[in-house]
A = this chain, B = another copy of it.
Amino acid sequence: MPTSNALDRFYSVIPAGGIGSRLWPLSRADAPKFLHDLTGSGQTLLRDTWDRLSPISGDQRIMVVTGRAHRAAVEAQIPELADPNVVLESEPRDSTAAIGLAAAILEKREPGVIIGSFAADHVIKGPTLFRAVVREAIAAADAGYIATIGIQPTEPAIGFGYIKGAAALDIPGAPSALTVDSFVEKPNLQTAKRYLAQGRYLWNAGMFISRADILLEEIGKNEPELLAGLLELAEAWDTPARGAVVDRVWPTLKKIAIDYAVAEPAAAAGRLAVIPGPFDWDDVGDFASIAKLHSGGRKRDLAILGEGARVLADSSSGIVVSHTGRMIALVGVDDIIVVDTPDALLVTTSANAQKVKSVVDALKLSGSSDVL
């Protein structure tokens, strides 16, 4: 366990930014993935995320970084969200800018703060295990590491990046923490099977926990201009100058994922620790993974989402998302994905689920922004 002092200094950060293009037409610019209930829990992924973190941080110590357009929806989902804990982006600048800005604001308000960033739109089962692992990560952060949580793989997934854990770090309060040998990109199936057999590879779930000053320092090593921008923003954030500085600086920030700006260089320098997470996790990145989530892995089950869905299907597997109440009949189509919304319909297969993003790109190009 981390020292109570470290836990007291902990702040959760929820970047709620991505639209989830591979979940079109369910996810839209005005209804991004984190505002949907994809698990059947009865509440949105964002709310699930909040409820998972609240017992660790307390409601007063969770910051949400989201787009201006989503402010009302986010606040409706989380009435507990304190006004200073809402950070609005005028436009998306990728994860380093989002998390780095939160780190810079919080470090200025509260030097020595430890932050943990957790995506608003992932699914985790086993909140108690999750929190135990986060507490280990906080202890590792308190010891000066940038800590990440690597999910113990349950299958040879090819949709995730992997983290190769190495030696035990022996950090007080973080007995599971390992040094990180390397980050590896999404593998092919053969490689993924090898990773699974070797047992030292963990899924990269994009969760990072560290002292804010150390995170910023790491950003500065690799992206000094980006850090300068973030510090300028943080300096003005709680002053009347915020609006003008945001308008001037935010659009100039380099778009770069935190994996590249921080995690990989830190791993190479031995400053990264990974805590294996023995809980169920999924980034529900496409409809195939939602189908899998709902079928519990049973191949012949057709998952059906949507209130009042009317589906008539023969032996089909796959997923139907119904937001219209129309009768949907599927005949002789296997591993099918049908997403039925009032103004747009998607028909694809599990094998093509990742390609849905290309539809969004094509719709943009063809000027069909009314359905984006």
Contacts and interface: CB of A to CB of B under 8 A. Distances in A.
Contacts of A332: 348-349, 351-352, 355
A326 B344 CA distance: 5
Given A25-B329, A312-B362, A345 B340 contact: yes
Contacts of A155: none
Interface string A340-372: 101111111101100110110011001010010
Most buried by B among A25, A327, A348, A366: A327
Given A340-B345, A347-B336, A327 B368 contact: yes
A325 to B, nearest CB: 9
A347 B368 contact: no
A101 B333 CA distance: 43
A359 B332 CA distance: 11
Indicate how many identical chains form the complex.
2
A345 B342 CA distance: 12
Contacts of A345: 326-329, 338, 340, 345
A338 B331 contact: no
A70 interface: no
A310 interface: yes
B349 A327 contact: no
A349 B329 CA distance: 12
A245 interface: no
A363 B327 CA distance: 10
A345 B331 CA distance: 11
Nearest to A345: B328
Interface in A222-280: none
A356 B331 contact: yes
Given A312-B363, A366-B312, A368-B310, A343 B326 contact: yes
Given A312-B366, A359-B312, A329 B347 contact: yes
A330 interface: yes
A315 to B, nearest CB: 11
A326 B323 CA distance: 13
A330 B347 contact: yes
Residue among A24, A336, A342 facing the most chain B CB atoms (10 A cut-off) = A336
Contacts of A363: 312, 327, 329
Contacts of A336: 333, 347
A246 to B, nearest CB: 34
19 contacts: A25-B327, A25-B329, A314-B355, A314-B358, A326-B342, A327-B371, A329-B346, A329-B347, A331-B348, A331-B352, A331-B355, A331-B356, A331-B358, A332-B349, A332-B351, A333-B336, A333-B349, A333-B352, A340-B345
In the A-B complex, the 7 residue pairs with the closest CB atoms: A332-B352, A331-B348, A327-B344, A327-B371, A329-B359, A328-B345, A331-B352
Given A326-B345, A328-B347, 8 more contacts: A24-B329, A327-B344, A327-B363, A329-B346, A329-B348, A331-B352, A331-B356, A332-B352
